[in-house]
Amino acid sequence: VTSSFGLIITSRHAFRNVGTYATHYVKGSYKKHFVPWTYMFVRTENERSYTKLFEATKRYAMEFFDVDLNLSFGSLDRTPYIANAYRNVWPGIKLLSCYTHLLKNAREHRSMLSSREFYDSDFVVNLNL
C-alpha cells in the first residue's frame, strides 16, 4: 500500500547523537545505549515508508550538521522491506541482525555450543543490553 506514509519527526537534539554509539563497562558488565535519530508514525510499515524515513535522516544530518550520512552498517529484524529501504538510500550498506533478536536467538540456541563457559564469559557479555 503506497498511501500509508505518515509523519517523520526528528530534532537537532536527537541528531546530536548521529554517528554515536556508547558502550560502557561498569561494575563488571557492559551497558549499551542506542539513541534514535528519527521517529516515524505510519499506518502500515512498508518499503516506501522506511525509504522516506532514511532519506529524511540523511537530509537532516546534512541540514543540521553539514554531515553527509553514509552508513556502512544497518541493524534490522530480518524484515525485507527495511532491508530494501536501507539499500535504496545506502546501496553499499552491510545489514546486521538487531542486538535484541541476536541475543534472544543466542539464548535459545546456546545448548548447541560446545562450551557453556564461552557463552557466559565471551559471548553474552558483548551482546547483553
When pLDDT is cut at 50, 70 and 90, the band that residue 98 belongs to is: confident
Query: In the prediction, which pLDDT does 61 show?
Result: 81
Separation CA 61–CA 114 (nearest Å): 45
Domain membership of residue 60 (yes or no) is yes
Residue 113 belongs to a domain:
no
Residue given cell 561498569 in the structure block: 26
Q: How many domains does the chain have?
A: 1
Mean pLDDT (whole number) for 100-115: 76
Ranking 49-53, 81-85, 115-119 by mean pLDDT, the lowest is 115-119
C-beta of residue 113 within 8 angstroms of C-beta of residue 119: yes
Q: Is residue 80 part of a domain?
A: no
What's the mean pLDDT in 78-102?
87
Whether 19 maps to a domain, the answer reads: yes
Q: How much is the mean pLDDT over the chain?
A: 73
* 55 is a domain residue: yes
Indicate whether 22 belongs to any domain: yes
Q: Using one digit for the tens of pLDDT, what is the confidence trace for 38-81?
A: 667 777 789 998 898 899 888 888 887 788 888 888 888 778 99
Is the CB of residue 37 less than 8 Å from the CB of residue 71?
no
pTM comes to 0.61
What is the pLDDT at residue 84? 96
Residue 60's domain spans which residues?
7-70
DSSP 120: I
Tell me which of 32 and 94 has the higher pLDDT: 94
Flag whether 40 is in a domain.
Answer: yes
- Asked if residue 94 is part of any domain, the answer here is no
CA pair distance 6, 99, nearest whole angstrom: 27
